[in-house]
C-alpha cells in the first residue's frame, strides 16, 4: 500500500520535473541533502567553461570582466530565497567565518547605544561550530556567553543582552524554531539577533526583511546545491550596513580595493561584509546551481517538504513501529529532515549506505534523513524506511 501511495504522490507532484535538472544515480536513494546537496546537471559544464575560457583564455582579465563582482551577483540570486531585497546578501567565505563576522557585528551594534550590554545568548543545542565561534566572540568582545535552550530565552533576555545567535532548524532533531516570535522577543529586549539558516535556506520560505532580522548567515552546499565547500552567504539589511562593523577588515570589503590604500575604508554597501579574494571556481559553480530556482515557488517547495517528511514518518511508524524513536516534531514545526533515534545508529547508517540508501549519523544515537523537494521522491521515503526495517528485522 505504501508503494502504491508513493507512486500516486510522485505522479501528482508539481515539482517532479525538477528532478531532471539534477545529476542523480538512479540506483541510489539520496537522503542527505541537508549535508550536501546533489549537483544540478548544468554545473559541470559551467565549471568547465570557467576553467577553459575565463581562466584559460581570458586569464587575469576575467577579474575586472566578471569575477570581482561575483560575490554580490550570486548574492542577488540567493536574496529572494531568504526574503531579502537587492543589495543585502553577499556570498563570501565559509559559514563559520560569516557567523564570526555577523556575531561580532551584532555585539558592536548593540553596544553602540548601550555599552552595558555584555552578554551573548546562544542556542544551547546549536551546531557545534556556532558555539565555538560564539565562545571566541565572547572572549574577544569581553562579553559573557550564555548557552540557553530556545524555549528558555524568555527567562534570560534582558537589558544586558547584546546579541542572540540561533539556528532556524535544529541540525540534530530537525525542529523548526519560530523566527517571527524569537526575533520579536530579542528586539523587545533591545538586543540584536543573528539567524543561522544553514538547514532552512532553499527549503523554507524565509522573510528576513519583513521580520526585521538584524543579521543572518547560511551555507550553500546543502539545500542550495552549491557543491562541497561552496562559499556561504551573509545578510546585512540596508539600514544597518553603514553601522555594520565586522572584525575582518580585508581588502575585499574596502571601498576601493584596488587603490591599495594603507587605511581601511569600508565599502558603503553589502560589499563591506566581504574579506579577501573570492573562491571563483566554487562561487561560479554555485552561480550555475542557483539557476534551477528560476520560477520555483518556495511555498510549493515547503508544502512538498512537509508532505515528504510526513509520509516518511508514516512509513517508519508502519514498518518499524517502536523499533526506533522519531525525534523530529510530527507537526509543522520541523524542517526538511527526519531524525530517528536508535542505539546502533552509527552501524545502521553504514549498513544503509552499503544498500545505496544514503542518510547520515549524528552522535550519539541519531539517524538523519534529509529530504530535498527539488529532487527527492515519495518512493525514496518508502525505500529508505523499508531498507531500515529489513536491517532491523535481520538482526532479530
Q: Please say if the pLDDT value at position 395 is more than 80.
A: no
> For residue 126, what pLDDT band results from cuts at 50, 70 and 90?
very high
CA distance 366 to 24: 26
pLDDT in tens, 68-104: 999 999 999 999 999 999 999 999 999 999 999 999 9
The class that CATH gives domain 2-30+297-394 is alpha beta
Q: Does domain 48-293 have CATH number 3.40.640.10?
A: yes
Domain map (residue ranges) of the chain: 2-30+297-394, 48-293
Q: For the residues of 228-273, what is the DSSP string, one character each?
A: TT---EEE--GGGGGG---S---GGGBSSGGG--SS--B-SSGGGG
pLDDT in tens, 236-286: 999 999 999 999 999 999 999 999 999 999 999 999 999 999 999 999 999
**Could you give the percent of the chain with pLDDT greater than 90?**
99
Q: Please say if the pLDDT value at position 396 is more than 80.
A: no
Enzyme catalytic residues: 127, 196, 221-222, 368
* pLDDT, average across residues 312-339: 97
Comparing CA positions, the residue from 212, 234, 285, 207 lying closest to residue 97 is 234
> For residue 19, what pLDDT band results from cuts at 50, 70 and 90?
very high
CA distance 354 to 394: 15
Q: Please say if the pLDDT value at position 368 is more than 90.
A: yes
Angle 28-33-39 from CA coordinates, rounded to 5°: 75
Instruction: Supply φ then ψ for residue 368, to 5 degrees.
Output: -115, 140
In this prediction the pTM is: 0.97
Q: Please say if the pLDDT value at position 61 is more than 90.
A: yes
* pLDDT, average across residues 224-237: 98
Question: The cell 555594520 sits on which residue?
Answer: 244
Comparing CA positions, the residue from 162, 165, 152, 160 lying closest to residue 123 is 165
The predicted structure's pLDDT at residue 30? 98
Question: The cell 555585539 sits on which residue?
Answer: 107
Amino acid at each position: 500500500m505504501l508503494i502504491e501511495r508513493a507512486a500516486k504522490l510522485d505522479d501528482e507532484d508539481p515539482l517532479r520535473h525538477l528532478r531532471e535538472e539534477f545529476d542523480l544515480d538512479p540506483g541510489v536513494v539520496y537522503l542527505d541533502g541537508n549535508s550536501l546537496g546533489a549537483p544540478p546537471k548544468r554545473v559541470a559544464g559551467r565549471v568547465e567553461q570557467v576553467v577553459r575560457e575565463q581562466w584559460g583564455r581570458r586569464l587575469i582579465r576575467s577579474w575586472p570582466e566578471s569575477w570581482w563582482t561575483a560575490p554580490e551577483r550570486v548574492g542577488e540570486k540567493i536574496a529572494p530565497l531568504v526574503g531579502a531585497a537587492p543589495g543585502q546578501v553577499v556570498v563570501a567565505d565559509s559559514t563559520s567565518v560569516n557567523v564570526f563576522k555577523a556575531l561580532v557585528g551584532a555585539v558592536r551594534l548593540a553596544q553602540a547605544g548601550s555599552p552595558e550590554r555584555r552578554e551573548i545568548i546562544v542556542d544551547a543545542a546549536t551546531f557545534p561550530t556556532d558555539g565555538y565561534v560564539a565562545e571566541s566572540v565572547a572572549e574577544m568582545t569581553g562579553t559573557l556567553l550564555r548557552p540557553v535552550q530556545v524555549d528558555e530565552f524568555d527567562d534570560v533576555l534582558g537589558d544586558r543582552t547584546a546579541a542572540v545567535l540561533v539556528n532556524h532548524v535544529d541540525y540534530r532533531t530537525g525542529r523548526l524554531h519560530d523566527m517571527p516570535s524569537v526575533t520579536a522577543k530579542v528586539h523587545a529586549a533591545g538586543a540584536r539577533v543573528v539567524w543561522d539558516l544553514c538547514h532552512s535556506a532553499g527549503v523554507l520560505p524565509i522573510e528576513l526583511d519583513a521580520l526585521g532580522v538584524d543579521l543572518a548567515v547560511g551555507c550553500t552546499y546543502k539545500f542550495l546545491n552549491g557543491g562541497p565547500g561552496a562559499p556561504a552567504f551573509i545578510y546585512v539589511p540596508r539600514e544597518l550596513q553603514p553601522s555594520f562593523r565586522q572584525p575582518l577588515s580585508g581588502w575585499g570589503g574596502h571601498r576601493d580595493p584596488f587603490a591599495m590604500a594603507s587605511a581601511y575604508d569600508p565599502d558603503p554597501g553589502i560589499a563591506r561584509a566581504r574579506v579577501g579574494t573570492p573562491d571563483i571556481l566554487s562561487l561560479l559553480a554555485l552561480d550555475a546551481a542557483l539557476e534551477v530556482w528560476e520560477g520555483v515557488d518556495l511555498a510549493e517547495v515547503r508544502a512538498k517538504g512537509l508532505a515528504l517528511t510526513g509520509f516518511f514518518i508514516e512509513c517508519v511508524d508502519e514498518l518499524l513501529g517502536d523499533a526506533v524513536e522519531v525525534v523530529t516534531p510530527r507537526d509543522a514545526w520541523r524542517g526538511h529532515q527526519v531524525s530517528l533515534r536508535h542505539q546502533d545508529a552509527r552501524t545502521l547508517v553504514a549498513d544503509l549506505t552499503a544498500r545505496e540508501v544514503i542518510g547520515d549519523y549524528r552522535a550519539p544515537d541519531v539517524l538523519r534523513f534529509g529530504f530535498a523537494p527539488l529532487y527527492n521522491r515519495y518512493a525514496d521515503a518508502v525505500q529508505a524506511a523499508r531498507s531500515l526495517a529489513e536491517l532491523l528485522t535481520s538482526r532479530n
